[in-house]
Chains A and B, each alone.
Chain A
Amino acid sequence: MSSSRKYAVAGLGVVAGPQPNHTRRQIAAEAVRRAILDAGLDREDIDGAIEVVRGAGAGERSAYADPFPRILALPVNFFFSVERGGALAGLGISAAMSFLDRGIAKYVALCGVVDDWTRAQETKAKGFRGMVHLEKEGAWGRALGDIRAFSHHSWMASRHMAEYGTTSRQLGAIAVAARAWACKNPEAKMYGRSMTLEDHQTSPLVVEPYHLLDICLISDGGIAFILTTAERARDLRKPPVYVLGQGFGEIERALWWEKKNYTHMAVKTAKEQAFGEAGLELNDVKCAQLYDCFTGEVLFQLEDYGWCNKGEGGPFVASGAIGPGGSIPVNTGGGLLSCYHLADLTGFAEAVRQLRGEAGERQVVACDIAMSTGHGGEMLSPGMCSIHSCTILGR
């Protein structure tokens, strides 16, 4: 049975930028406090809470046990964590909707937090680059130099280049588009720092084929939102943003014998389910927030969803299709590449703002339908980056 338009995002709370003086739990509590205020609710109204955690999705545990409901004294009847890399908002909403659907909760607070920027500063002095605190003990390739996400994600770009002739300059067009959007978003890390294709090409080759500017930011921050039923949302302070459809895909089985996730992502089922539930077509989407941990992931999704044919993503992005003024505005807040990296919460928050008409200089005209995707969650090496989530939101 369809859940389309039965549930809505009623409140959004964002803590952006470096937070060296705040713990993760403080960032979470503050983001949730802001989301409750944004909705025009009181803390006493929140009867359910879900923490969304970026993790491998298997065999690892949440990082801390003093959660935002305790700190904010929320009168919740349940609190738990949903954990998976890159598809946090998508999975968290799905969980929240089941509680709302059964009448167990009226207003569910969801929150995700990262403190990667602060942690990365601490470890830089020891000679490490990037997010050493996320190293997974069980990962296969560490002894072989598989140290960061792009140590294996870059294979996807390598394979796409070999199969379809995609070039680094074409990937660079994705980074340039993201930066152009970020320069219209005062909350973005790269606001005010414009970038050209030549800047991309001359940035250091970190893990070839990826230049530094193919790689997402390392960020601190928290994003929280309040999910409730459509009827309740209509009585609140902000215009409701309805969940129109959701879908999920996993590609772990196809990986081993069909080697699919090196030029594809698990979009097929996610797209069918989400657009089917919403009763919409791809060209109904006014802006797409596509998970962009690296430029290659954006290229794959543009092809897999069908904005262009498989293998033709390079020329498509090089034409300017995804930047300001393009045919499909993508990652309109700057994305993980140029805004900040809070997994799929970054794009989800941007979709909410676009639909509310709160996106300022970057506002997409007549934006009534937006989508936000999640991706990632390496379950084991090599490069088994399998999950994909698609959430369609609308006014």
Chain B
Amino acid sequence: MAGSDNVRIITAPYEKPLPNIDLDNEPFWDGLREHKFLLFKCKMCGAYYWPKAYCRFHENESFMGNLEWSEASGKGKVFAFNIHHWALHPGFKSDVPYVYALIQLDEGPLISSNVIDVDPKEVKVGMVVEIVFEDHPQEGFTLPKFTPAKG
């Protein structure tokens, strides 16, 4: 599914805060490692959620049994964004200026991440973006980032 053009492999030592992986979101992070972007989808009506939630449109089965993690398009639009000029944590010193954006996914939910491989000055609200999988093989996780969509 995912071509190599949407994968970045980072081998430099990881000096940033670790992602918070817990029981609720472990399948999401497992998916990222396999270069699949998963959202939590209702099997009854098709609504998408991120993070996990009970479906808001009808009654649910116990513990969200009517929802499952399901591969999504990884496409969306910049809903709002900022440009961090200050490294507020020492791990980001070589990243500034970096874009941290709220992305409205084509399936509906919002997710936030960096928009990379673009001059921050070029980023606009409404810009169409797509998923990039940033692998950190030594640490064993993959971060979901976004980049302007091609074509």
Contact = CB atoms under 8 A, between A and B. Distances in A.
Interface of A: 126-130, 132, 135, 137-148, 150-152, 154-156, 158-159, 162, 204-210, 253, 255-257, 259, 262, 380-383
A145 B92 contact: yes
Contacts of A205: 83, 85
Contacts of B108: 256-257
Interface in B33-85: 49, 51, 53, 56, 79-85
A146 B79 contact: no
Contacts of A151: 82, 84, 88, 100
Given A143-B18, A155-B82, A383 B88 contact: no
A111 B16 CA distance: 36
B137 interface: no
Interface residues of B, number: 43
Q: Shortest 7 CB-CB distances between A and B: which pairs? A: A382-B112, A127-B90, A155-B80, A162-B125, A142-B17, A147-B88, A208-B83
B6 to A, nearest CB: 17
A143 B19 contact: yes
Nearest to A138: B20
20 contacts: A132-B89, A135-B17, A137-B20, A143-B18, A143-B143, A145-B16, A145-B100, A151-B100, A155-B101, A158-B82, A204-B86, A205-B85, A208-B85, A253-B56, A256-B108, A256-B109, A257-B56, A381-B112, A382-B112, A383-B102
A368 to B, nearest CB: 40
A382 B85 contact: no
A209 B79 CA distance: 15
Contact of B80 (A127, A140, A162, A210): A162
Contacts of A135: 17
A145 B100 CA distance: 7
Nearest to B85: A205
Contacts of B124: 162
Given A155-B80, A256-B109, A259-B79, A141 B100 contact: yes
Contacts of B18: 143
Nearest to A135: B17
Contact of A148 (B88, B110, B111, B114): B88
B112 A144 contact: yes
B85 A207 contact: yes
Contacts of A207: 82-86, 100
Given A145-B114, A206-B86, 10 more contacts: A128-B89, A139-B20, A142-B19, A145-B16, A145-B84, A155-B81, A155-B82, A162-B124, A257-B108, A380-B51
A202 to B, nearest CB: 14
A159 B22 contact: no
B86 A146 contact: no
A119 B77 CA distance: 38
A159 B83 contact: no
Contacts of A206: 84-86
B22 A138 contact: yes
A383 B112 contact: yes
B106 interface: no
Given A145-B98, A162-B80, A140 B112 contact: yes
Given A144-B114, A382-B111, A204 B20 contact: no
B95 interface: yes
Contacts of B101: 155
Between B53, B86, B104, the greatest number of chain A beta carbons within 10 A of the residue's beta carbon is seen for: B86
Contacts of B51: 140, 380
Contacts of A143: 16-19, 143
Between A129, A130, A155, A159, the greatest number of chain B beta carbons within 10 A of the residue's beta carbon is seen for: A155
Contacts of A255: 110
B1 to A, nearest CB: 23
Contacts of B49: 256
Nearest to A380: B51
B149 interface: no
A232 to B, nearest CB: 46
A129 B85 CA distance: 12
B100 A144 contact: yes
A363 B109 CA distance: 47
